[in-house]
Amino acid sequence: MPTPRRGKKKTESRPAAFPPEDGYDLWLRYRAVDAPRLLAQYRKAVPRAAVIGGGETSGIIRDELRRALPSLLDCHTPVTSELAPGPALVAGTAAALAASGMKAVPEACRDLGGEGYRIRTERTGKDARIVIAANTDPAVLRGVFHFLRLLQTRQDIRALKIASRPRIRHRILAHWDNLDGSIERGYAGYSLWQWDDLPTVLADRYRDYARACASVGINGTVLNNVNSQTEILRADYLMKTAALADIFRPYGIRVYLSPNFSAPRELGGLAGNDPRDPAVAWWWREKAEEIYRLIPDFGGFQVKANSEGMPGPKDSGANHDDGANMFARALEGGGGKVLWRAFVYETDIDYDRAKCAYKEFTPLDGRFHPAVFVQVKNGPVDFQPREPFHPLFGSMPRTPLALELQIAQEYLGQSIHLVYLAPMWKEVLESDTYARGAGSKVSAVVDGSLTGRADSAIVGDANTGSDRNWCGHHFGQANWYAFGRLAWDHTLSSEAIAEEWIRATWTNQARAVQAMKKMMLGSWEACVDYMTPLGLNCLVAEGHHYGPDPAFDAAPREDWSNVYYHRADRRGIGFDRSSTGSGAAATYQSPLREQLDDLQRCPEKFLLWFHHVPWDHRMPSGRTLWEELEVHYDRGIAFAEKMTLWWEKVRAEVDPARHRHVAERLAKQLANARFWKKVCLEYFGRFAKGEDEKT
């Protein structure tokens, strides 16, 4: 059985080929190019660089190139502010480049919008220049990061012809950070924001954070937890927020906040929080204006209301649209947005939690202010290892919907398990909602292309924290990276993103790249297999949400118990959401709803999500359901075993410190996978084999 390296002294005592690393540099390590021919090509193409422009962002771009080029090219590479004859890398806004004599650039940038960029090889005589141009400084910065990625991933740069624009407009990282420095569902230390020190002491890490976000195209950050504390809107906290906003602005990143709905009463001393009360609306408008005075480009509010005990408009008899629209009107003066979360599941709405948001929000379609996004989690329950896409994506055609993904792996082994999430997110994005007939993908709903809407948003609940390597697990960084890359362009494949990330973060050695890619690409399906196969969900232990506890039945609410979800009994297992059960299959559009409704046609991966299935049911494989469950748990474990072996094989290509960190976690992941199988199958087996006494 693969275990960490004990006993294999020979390899261990070999001098390390690479100095130890701590992961702080993320995918921006810029290690020297070790392929001689490419190195020669790069040095020839970029003997120097000129960044045209006098603003703060131009300075940041120069700094980035000064850091990256000498390191990647392993030679002196001047980075200046002026154009000089001869080959060079030239970067600047269209206006700045035109003012320096490159008259054709503005026309060429016409279709790039505010955030797109182009990277072109342009020849004048025998000289070739690589020109990175855009309409705004932050977009030039993104173009420069793109160019550096080409070097980091060893691409041919002799004839570049790249134009890139984001498919989704607001690409937001949301932090569930509390004002005391703790992070809700955070597994990588404490908050990055030093609230006690702000606004006077500004940690270097704030810039490094912004730099990392900008490098993958993220353009917004929600600083505080959705379970918000009212203090965040107090004048002193707004000063702190403004200090962060000032740091992030030159990187093209806007700041958002999660307000608490009861702030008018708690902070403002008003009698209530009813959004229809003019005094309440006035209070929020004043608050928004106060924020805009400090942060003119304030992104807006992300609101969790009437959910899990948070206050909201329903407390005073109003509805979600009243609350969301009140915020939107308050923010009108500065163009801020409202991200109104649809994560609601009060028991009086429906017995089946998977139907609640659908039932609450579909009647409100078309009633929201244009600045409101209804923010919908990828699935209808809660960031489980695998869920079908949320039915709201197919049923609110007149409302912009923001997709909320969780990067933090709350239910997927947190910062211990290596689980690359891009394949999960792609499965959701590629799902067909049938909202306007076949081909109406979730991605087209979210990016607005299905309805011809220009505004669009995607939110990722962050996995970052104060740990030196930012994400707890070195491979957790890949999920932050993948979120940014997919938010920019959801058509990228999981594989392409993984490969970029590996090459920039670990190595370009082909065999090691392949091995790491195999690990990453299979890791999510393996996690589903050893935790919640065949559409099972919510089997984690209460509170910490890490290990298995399928027997848990003692929660104060039925739908906080695990037995509510799996419903194992002598007859079978699974939640009947078909027309003979809760009817949740009917929250999807035809012909998907009929397919999900039909036990024979329901995709196997969602079988127990939609059906209560007899233990002896014959699966397409010919096995019984019970046998199939066993096969899945074993398959997940087998993959976890393989990951430890593949990781061992890349030892020589990776620095010892990071190798060991990952190896230790893989060993724990494998042990956990076995434990999941043991606990779940022992428990379910009591029913399947008729040994339980309860039924």
Catalytic residues: 308, 382, 410
Closer to ligand BDP by Cβ: residue 410 or 597: 410
**Three-state DSSP string of 274-333:** CCCCHHHHHHHHHHHHHHHHHCCCCCEEEECCCCCCCCCHHHHCCCHHHHHHHHHHHHHH
Shortest Å, Cβ 382 to ligand BDP:
5
> Within a 10 A sphere around the Cβ of 554, how many other Cβ atoms?
10
Burial of 271 (0-12, 13-18, 19+ CB in 10 A): exposed
Contact residues for ligand BDP, defined by CB under 6 A: 184-185, 226-227, 304, 308, 343, 382-383, 410
Q: How far is CA 306 from CA 299, 302, 314, in A?
A: 23, 13, 7
Q: Quick one: tokens of 412? A: 């997927």
d(CA 560, CA 549) in angstroms, rounded, equals 12
- Strands (DSSP E) contained in 439-556 are 457-461
Shortest Å, Cβ 380 to ligand BDP:
13
CA dihedral for 60, 63, 65, 68, sign (positive or negative): negative
Closer to ligand BDP by Cβ: residue 33 or 226: 226
| 301 dihedral zone (left: phi>0; alpha: psi -120 to 50; beta) | beta
Shortest Å, Cβ 199 to ligand BDP:
27
* Segment (H or E) for 235: helix 235-248
Q: Which amino acid appears at position 634 of this protein? A: D
Closer to ligand BDP by Cβ: residue 552 or 626: 552
Shortest Å, Cβ 682 to ligand BDP:
26
Q: How far is CA 255 from CA 240, 296, 481, in A?
A: 12, 10, 19
Closer to ligand BDP by Cβ: residue 152 or 178: 178
Shortest Å, Cβ 304 to ligand BDP:
5
Shortest Å, Cβ 404 to ligand BDP:
8
Shortest Å, Cβ 489 to ligand BDP:
26
Q: Which residue has the tokens 């699974």?
A: 574
d(CA 335, CA 370) in angstroms, rounded, equals 11
Closer to ligand BDP by Cβ: residue 244 or 376: 376
d(CA 305, CA 4) in angstroms, rounded, equals 47
Q: How far is CA 469 from CA 23, 480, 539, 677, in A?
A: 5, 12, 29, 31
Residue closest to ligand BDP when measured from CB atoms: 382
Shortest Å, Cβ 324 to ligand BDP:
16
Q: Which amino acid appears at position 407 of this protein? A: I
d(CA 355, CA 652) in angstroms, rounded, equals 51
Q: Does residue 632 contact residue 595 with C-beta atoms inside 8 Å? A: no
Closer to ligand BDP by Cβ: residue 100 or 227: 227
Closer to ligand BDP by Cβ: residue 197 or 542: 542
Q: Helix or strand or coil: residue 249?
A: helix
Q: Quick one: tokens of 409? A: 């792996």
Closer to ligand BDP by Cβ: residue 50 or 531: 531
| 545 dihedral zone (left: phi>0; alpha: psi -120 to 50; beta) | left
d(CA 562, CA 540) in angstroms, rounded, equals 8
Closer to ligand BDP by Cβ: residue 383 or 626: 383
Given the DSSP bridges, would you call strands 117-124 and 161-164 parallel, antiparallel or unpaired? antiparallel
Shortest Å, Cβ 225 to ligand BDP:
7
